[in-house]
Structure 1
Amino acid sequence: MNRAIKQLTVGALAVWVATISNAAPQFESLGHIVDGNTYRGFSSAAKATYVAGVFDGVLVTGAMGDVDESLLRLKQCTMHMTLRQLDTIVDAYIDKNPSQWGDSMSKIVMNAMGEACKDRGIAILPEDG
């Protein structure tokens, strides 16, 4: 599994507590707590909180050491983006990719940011390099 996806998973777990009151997590799903279908049921505020938690998790993981190139490129790509921009990127990606709604939100967020950053000329996913 890609290191950046693992880091996003840590962020997703950190924000799960903030979102649990808005939708019941699907523990029976394929090893992840929140998938795209669950996320789509969140309120707008819970979605923004979730995305913020993913990025906070990524940043704290980097602060704890073991920073790789993908994390540095993700930080470079998003450093001047607002939470609203990040949330909008994720929501637009989900709307455009219903075939991924059953996937883990950490993977969906990474794919959304990979696409957005690639459009900005910054490859964060290995296959985009």
Structure 2
Amino acid sequence: MPLEILLVLVVGGIAGITLLVHLTGRSQRCVLSLETAREQWVRHFPEDTVIDVTVAHDRHAALVRTENGPGLLWSFGADTVAQRLLDYDLLDRTDGFEILFHDFGTPKAIIHLDDLERPHWRNLMEPA
């Protein structure tokens, strides 16, 4: 098969799959509620007992308190990422926080919070 035809088939296939995923709604960001945040945290950390969950107003992040300490759960595309708040840098932004984890494998988290949420979240994230 000529390379030109193979290239068209590969590019067309990738574009078709991307379009199909988008049209079926699978490309939307995960929206969290108290229940889904609790379920997603337990999916990531099955040994944890969740004490409390605080969901951001935009519903794309949640602060989870467990017996093992606080953790952060946030939307990463259609899935979620969960990380314990042990070793991180918290940077203020005009629209919330940017959290840089000192774990090489964890992406930074940009959490959008309004002016009322920001002090409450900062207080919950501080070590006890």
Q: Which has the higher helix share?
A: 1
Return the structure number with greater relative CO, CA threshold 8 A, min gap 6: 1
Same fold? TM cut 0.5: no
Instruction: Report TM bin, short chain.
Output: under 0.3
Q: Which has the higher strand share?
A: 2
Point out the structure with max Rg over C-alpha.
Answer: 2
